[in-house]
Structure 1
Amino acid sequence: MLKKITLQNYRNYKNLSLDLGERTILFGNNAQGKTNILESIYLLCTLKSFRSKDVSLIGENETFTSIEGEADKKLKLVIQNIDENIKKTALKNGVKIKGPEFLKSFLAVIFSPEDVELIKASPGARRRHLDILLCKLDPMYTEALIDFKRTLLQRNALLKNIKYKRATESDLEIWDKGFLELGNFIIKKRKEFIELINKNIDVFYKKISGTDEVVRISYVTGYENIFLEDALKKALSYDIICGTTGVGPHRDDIRFKKEGKDIREFGSRGEFRTVILALKLC
């Protein structure tokens, strides 16, 4: 459990030190920084803000911000703006560590008004939400996701070179091998995690809504009923024309369904809120 949070040059806080109990309630007038405190805790947990880019976290006329937290260990995150480049440094007990290791420090769940938009947001926003959860729970997933993104960048660059006759299709072989290995691992982990969520989300939804309606989450790809390897081969000609990879875990989506129907098409705002709250409680 997080016992204390200390902020320096964080948004509207020049210096703030706040002790946290098992239940801490923040109250006050609007625009005083209550959400900023919640955001800083979430940032310390996930290394990402849930509402803006890193540069906006640094106080006005400052070059850095730091967030310190006391849980089982002393945690610190420093964000620097060096010549318009953002640098993050994570420390545990004063020792610099890598992001995947830092992410295991403690868990935090936030429910904000923006979360309701997740259902109708872009597929990328839903993938990002799922990836953040998985990265907190599985360091191997974090490493695979990082490696996959690097491989994807290299493959896309090569596709552009093939398009302009600076490379050949045979040059894709080494990158396709890594793409498929990492991509299949990511998809497998995502599907397993969604099945785990589905064991609980329906229970929470029924308790919150007071109904017997069934809610489930499904994982959607653009190549149903065939393997990723076959889909990649099938899309190659189009990928070369576009200079980008059109199939894979970076294109997949997550759908929320109630009574078998896509809630985006049939759900109300209140139902969106209830589904997302049930998801958070999982």
Structure 2
Amino acid sequence: MANSTAKITSLSLHNFYGVDDWSADISENTHCIGSNGSGKTHILNALHLALGGKVLYGKNKLLPGTKITFTVQDANGMEMVYLFGNDGKKEYTMRGETIYTKPKYLQNLPIRSVFISPFDMNMLYFAPQIRRDYLDNVCARAYPNFIKVQRDFERTMRQRNALLKNIREGQSAFNDLDFWDSKFAEIAYLYGQYRIKFIDFITSIMPEFPQFFGKYVIQINYAGDWIYQEDPVGYIKTYLKNKRQRDILSGHTHIGPHRDDFGFYIKDNDDEITENVQSFLSRGEMKMLLIGLKIGEAKWIQEKQDVSVIILLDDLFSELDPHNSDIFLDSIIQHQIFLTSQTPHKKTLKNKQFTCINL
């Protein structure tokens, strides 16, 4: 496994959406300044994708001719060049020669990224699918094997749903569901275990970051009752058997990771959940809560994979006042940082050593 002191030293983009050709050296702390439309967000998106991430509100599909090249330096000063993209295909190349599958690529990649964008606030307010995508993206970067489990789950669910429709149309027998119910329950359990590990980790570290979580007693909950049962696999199988008629009529499976959610809740003095934070906290408090979650994400990925983490901050200062910006930067200064903004923000960064890139 790679050591946890690696850092990005250079980045080049070719034909990545609004960026035709761009390259720069990347320091321990880099501040990229540019006006709207200059390509700041595209640069962060590209690096995040190349480091195995998924942009929740951006471009995940590569254009023909797209190439993202970056150099990583390890603790001994040795450098390795990585290339992501080949004529629109998501190919992962190391040492300029060997093409790897994404899981194998991540196993050999000594650094991951955590992307923080103003758009991430939507995760706390909008549809559960956004939060599910976030959980799965985090799990995929911390556990390369998660990608295979996720694909196996999606394939199993598609096959079960197809069988449900065939039964409804009289093309398959009712009892054919026995096999697929068992298979679905087993892979759903494996899938859910990855997610719950992250939820439990965030719960465990929340007391370490009172500046983000401490004003109220806040708890993060995973909304999927099946995963907390004594026998989750047996619980899912029983549920599926009891709800077969409904599933056949709809052609869909109504339990499992694809239906789950997570959220933050306020607790009262009796340790009882009273309010969802969405209806209780101010937008500024919600922003700090999100930042606390992202700091936990970086800590989790670093601990689970023994890798370095680069924090990618897209227009951070548009959402935070100077005081909270200082708190946040002080909390992540142990990581490599690549941030963007429209203006220099010299007051906020006066005590931080940042290399400036002007677009």
TM-score, length of structure 1 as denominator length: 0.88
Distance 2:218 2:23 in 1: 41
Match of 2:44 among 32, 38, 43: 38
Q: What's the secondary structure of 1:250's corresponding residue?
A: helix
- Partner residue, 1:71: 72
Q: Which has the higher contact order (CA 8 A, sep 6+)?
A: 2
Distance 1:41 1:16 in 2: 12
Distance 2:133 2:86 in 1: 21
- Partner residue, 1:84: none
Deviates more, 1:239-248 or 1:138-147: 138-147
Distance 1:38 1:250 in 2: 28
Percent of pairs with identical residues: 30
Distance 2:94 2:143 in 1: 19
Q: Does 1:216 pair with 2:219?
A: yes
Which residues in structure 2 correspond to 1:160-175 (within 5 Å)? 160-175=165-180
Q: Deviation at 1:264?
A: 2.2
- Partner residue, 2:54: 48
Q: Number of matched residues?
A: 270
- Partner residue, 1:207: 211
Q: Which runs of 5+ in 2 are unaligned?
A: 1-6, 74-79, 268-272, 297-359
TM-score, length of structure 2 as denominator length: 0.70
Q: What amino acid sits opposite 1:170 in the alignment?
A: N
Q: Deviation at 1:38?
A: 0.9
Distance 1:232 1:119 in 2: 30
Q: What's the secondary structure of 2:114's corresponding residue?
A: coil
Q: Deviation at 1:202?
A: 4.2
- Partner residue, 1:253: 261
Q: Deviation at 1:79?
A: 5.5
Q: What's the secondary structure of 2:30's corresponding residue?
A: coil
Q: What amino acid sits opposite 2:115 in the alignment?
A: I
Q: 1:147-197 CA deviation, whole Å, 9 max, x = no partner?
A: 111111111111111111111122223322221111011112221221111
RMSD: 2.0
Q: What's the secondary structure of 2:41's corresponding residue?
A: helix
Q: What's the secondary structure of 2:145's corresponding residue?
A: helix
Distance 1:75 1:178 in 2: 38
Q: Which runs of 4+ in 1 moved over 6 A?
A: none
The structure with more strand, counted as a fraction of residues: 2
Distance 1:44 1:174 in 2: 39
Distance 1:102 1:258 in 2: 40
- Partner residue, 2:326: none
Match of 1:9 among 2, 5, 15: 15
Cα 1:64–1:169 change in 2 (3 A) is: farther
Q: Which runs of 5+ in 1 are unaligned?
A: 82-86
Q: What's the secondary structure of 1:25's corresponding residue?
A: strand
Q: Is the 8 A contact 2:45 2:59 kept in 1?
A: no
Q: What amino acid sits opposite 2:83 in the alignment?
A: K
Distance 1:53 1:140 in 2: 24
Match of 1:281 among 295, 306, 311: 295
Which residues in structure 2 correspond to 1:115-194 (within 5 Å)? 115-194=120-199
Distance 1:255 1:36 in 2: 29
